Amino acid sequence: MQKRILGTGGLEVSAIGLGCMGMSQSYGQPMETPDAVRLIRSAFERGITFFDTAEVYGPFKNEEVVGEALQPIRDQVVIATKFGIDIAGTTGHEGMDSRPQHICDVVEASLKRLRTDRIDLLYQHRVDPVVPIEEVAGTVKDLISQGKVKHFGLSEAGVRTIRRAHEVQPVAALQSEYSLWWREPEEAILPVLEELGIGFVPFSPLGKGFLTGAIDANTRFDSSDFRNTVPRFAEEARKANQALVDAIAAIAAEKKVTPAQVALAWLLARKPWIVPIPGTTKLSRLEENIGSSAVALTAGDLANIESAVSAIAVQGERYSPQQQARIDR
């Protein structure tokens, strides 16, 4: 698989990464640990070197699984994890906790769970409204100087926050949602990332599974699946949004690839510093996603995609009001 560089500090990763969250939470029943370990190692064997996790996934369980899976090949992979969520519920400010001491404590715990002596890319999971981003960036800068962290990242941060953080400690990557059914980052985020030399790591690059074509208005999710709470996945919204999937599927059929591969290839074609991290619990989907890195979209293909999807208004908010309140603007 081709490699890409995130940021200006030489962080090299596979062009497609693996989001590991769904192995432990949010999309139905968690995988058994041996199965998750096998899937992660299968991803590496097929060329993926970039693995994304967080302390809150599980909580804690996902980091443990990732650590077990990657320990034998630690020096050949890039591990990204995150801090900033008040898992214990003790800070009382919108579920966030990016106090400097808490960041240091989280890093120590994450290092143990990940079975490593350094975190390659450490993200602030969500912007903390009461801790100045300069303090956050300064704390990560100290951790970098100690060798415990290699690169600094932000997630779902707005332009002002990105600029302020970058002045204290260069930001290697921003992780936010971006796909053919959520294109808001194009308005202000992508231009500032290009200006500052910051990489972009889209999560949910397949629209939480919707862009694969495997979900329609009749799909019923497991009771533990968080998509049951997402307005965009309400039955009527799915019915309306099917037009987007149909448009992508038509283009995929012409290219003799799958809708998921078109959606991922479209992201890869946007900028050379974009690295999507689709998640999956199935080997077949993993192989399908990896295959997207070999899909070459011509200028004509991209124009056809733009023409097809720009005429479709996606229905439904991407998060519930409570979840939306946690996103920095």
**Residue 57 designated active-site:** yes
- Per the structure block, which two tokens stand in for 120? 């390659």
Catalytic residue from among 57, 123, 178, 319: 57
Residue 316's SS3 state is coil
Q: Which residues have a Cβ under 8 Å from the Cβ of 1 and sit 6 or more positions away?
A: 14, 15, 16, 46, 47, 48, 290, 293
- Per the structure block, which two tokens stand in for 192? 């500032």
> Which among 51, 89, 2, 107 has a CA at the least distance from the CA of 286?
51
Residue 174's SS3 state is strand
Q: Give 220: exposed, middle or buried? Use CB within 10 Å, 0-12, 13-18, 19+.
A: exposed
Give the DSSP letter string of 218-287.
T----TT-GGGG-GGGSHHHHHHHHHHHHHHHHHHHHHTS-HHHHHHHHHHHH-TTB----B-S-HHHHH
> Which among 45, 55, 36, 58 has a CA at the least distance from the CA of 14?
45
> Do residues 231 and 316 touch, judged by C-beta distance below 8 A?
yes
Residue type, 61: K
Active-site amino acid positions: 57
